[in-house]
A and B are shown apart, each in its own frame.
Chain A
Amino acid sequence: MKGSFLGEFEEVVLLATWVLKDQAYANTVRDEVSKHTQRDINLSAIHSALYRMERKGFLTSELGEASARRGGKRKRHFYVSTKGTEALNEIKRIRESFWQLVPATPVKGGSI
Chain B
Amino acid sequence: MNNPKPPKLPLILLRLFCARHRLEELEGDLYEEFLENLEKKGLSKARRRYSWTIIRSFRRYIFEYQPQQYKLSYLSMMLRHYIKTAFRGIKSSKTLSLINLTGLSVGIASSLIIALFVADQYLLDDFIPDRAQIVRLEGQSDNSSTVGFSPLLHPGLGPAISELSPNVVSFTRMNKADINIRVEQEEEISFFKESFLFVDSSFFQMFPFELLQGRPDKVFESRRSIVITERMARKLFGTEDPIGKTVNASYHGRRSFVVTGILKDIPANSSIQFDLLSLADKNYSLNSGAFGPIPIYLKLVPGTDRQALAQLLSKEIANLTENQFIARQRYRFTAFDDIKYDTESTDRVIPAMNKSVIDLFVFLAIFILLLATINYINLSAARALQRGQEAGIRKVIGAGRGSFTTQFLTESLLLCWLTFPVAILLTHACIPAFENVLQKQLFNQYLTDPLFLVSVFGLVSLLGLIAGIYPSMIIFRFRFADFLKGKIGSSQKGNWFRKGLVVFQFTISIILILGTLMVERQLKFVQNQTLAFQAEQILVCDRALSGKLTQLKNALADIPAVNKVSLTTSPPGGDNAYMYGFNKTFGEILYWHEIDEDYIPLLKLNIVRGKAFDVEEKSSFDNQILINETMARLIETINPFNSDTPLDELYTFNGEQLRIRGVVEDFHIQSLHERIKPMIFQHGGSNPGAGNLMLRITPADMGNTMTRIRESWQEFIPHSPFKASFLDSQFEALYTSEVRLGKIFGVFTFLAVLISCMGLFGLSLHIAEVKTQEIGIRKVLGASISQIMSLLSGQIYLLIIVSAVIASPIAWYFGDRWLQGFAYRQTFSVGTFALTFFAALVLASLTTCWHTIKTARINPADTLRNE
Contact = CB atoms under 8 A, between A and B. Distances in A.
A66 to B, nearest CB: 8
B215 to A, nearest CB: 52
Interface in A1-44: 25-27, 30, 42-44
Interface in B3-42: 22, 24-33, 35-36
Interface stretch (A68-76, A84-92, A93-101, A102-110): A68-76
A70 B56 contact: no
Interface stretch (B58-66, B656-664, B715-723, B836-844): B58-66
Contact of A75 (B29, B52, B57): B29
A82 interface: no
Given A27-B32, A69-B35, A44 B25 contact: no
A66 B32 CA distance: 11
A63 B29 CA distance: 12
Contacts of A76: 25
Nearest to A50: B61
B53 interface: yes
A58 to B, nearest CB: 15
Contact of B25 (A45, A52, A75): A75
A73 B21 CA distance: 12
A44 B24 contact: no
Interface in B261-319: none
A27 B25 contact: no
Contacts of B64: 51
A47 B60 contact: no
A51 B25 contact: no
Nearest to B27: A73
B691 to A, nearest CB: 75
Contacts of A47: 26, 29, 57, 61
Interface residues of A, number: 21
B66 to A, nearest CB: 13
Contacts of B35: 69
Contacts of B22: 51
A76 B36 CA distance: 18
Contacts of A27: 29, 32-33, 36
Q: Which of B25, B30, B35, B59 has the most CB of A within 10 A?
A: B25
A42 B53 contact: yes
Contacts of B24: 73-74
Contacts, number: 60
Given A48-B61, A74-B24, A42 B29 contact: no
Contact of A51 (B27, B32, B53, B61): B61
A42 B57 CA distance: 9
Given A51-B64, A69-B35, A44 B56 contact: yes
A104 B56 CA distance: 44
B28 A45 contact: no
Contacts of A42: 52-53, 56
Contact of A48 (B30, B52, B54, B60): B60
Contacts of A66: 28
A40 B22 CA distance: 24
A48 B22 CA distance: 12
Contacts of B60: 48, 52
Contacts of A73: 24-25, 27-28, 31
A23 to B, nearest CB: 13
Given A47-B26, A48-B59, A48-B61, A70 B53 contact: no
Contacts of B61: 47-48, 51-52
A71 B29 contact: no
B281 to A, nearest CB: 71
A69 B29 CA distance: 10
B53 A75 contact: no
Nearest to A26: B29
Contacts of A44: 53-54, 56-57, 59
B32 A69 contact: yes
A70 B52 contact: no
Contacts of B28: 66, 70-71, 73-75
A48 B25 CA distance: 13
A27 B53 CA distance: 13
A74 B25 CA distance: 6
Interface in B83-124: none
B41 to A, nearest CB: 12
A80 B27 CA distance: 23
A37 B204 CA distance: 62
Interface string B45-78: 0000000111011011100100000000000000
A45 B56 contact: yes
Given A48-B60, A75-B25, A76-B25, A43 B33 contact: yes
A47 B299 CA distance: 66
A87 B59 CA distance: 25
Interface in B666-711: none
Contacts of B57: 43-44, 47
A69 B64 CA distance: 27
Nearest to A43: B53
Q: Which of B22, B30, B36, B60 has the most CB of A within 10 A?
A: B30
Contacts of B36: 27
A71 B26 contact: no
Nearest to A55: B64
Nearest to B23: A73
A82 B558 CA distance: 106
A69 to B, nearest CB: 6
Contacts of A25: 25, 29
Contact of B29 (A43, A45, A48, A52): A43
A76 B22 CA distance: 9
A36 B193 CA distance: 71
Contacts of B27: 71, 73
Contacts of B26: 47
Interface string B197-238: 000000000000000000000000000000000000000000
A9 B32 CA distance: 23
A73 B33 CA distance: 13
A15 B35 CA distance: 26
B229 to A, nearest CB: 50
B490 to A, nearest CB: 48
A71 B25 contact: no
Contacts of A52: 60-61
Nearest to B62: A47
A84 to B, nearest CB: 18
Contacts of A69: 31-32, 35
Contacts of A45: 56
25 contacts: A25-B25, A25-B29, A27-B29, A43-B30, A43-B33, A43-B53, A44-B53, A44-B54, A44-B57, A45-B56, A48-B60, A51-B22, A51-B61, A52-B61, A63-B25, A69-B32, A70-B29, A70-B32, A71-B31, A73-B24, A73-B28, A75-B25, A75-B28, A75-B29, A76-B25
Given A43-B29, A43-B30, A48-B59, 14 more contacts: A25-B29, A26-B25, A27-B29, A27-B32, A27-B33, A47-B26, A47-B61, A48-B61, A69-B35, A70-B32, A73-B27, A73-B31, A75-B25, A76-B25
Name the 4 nearest CB pairs between A and B, nearest first.
A73-B28, A70-B28, A51-B61, A71-B31
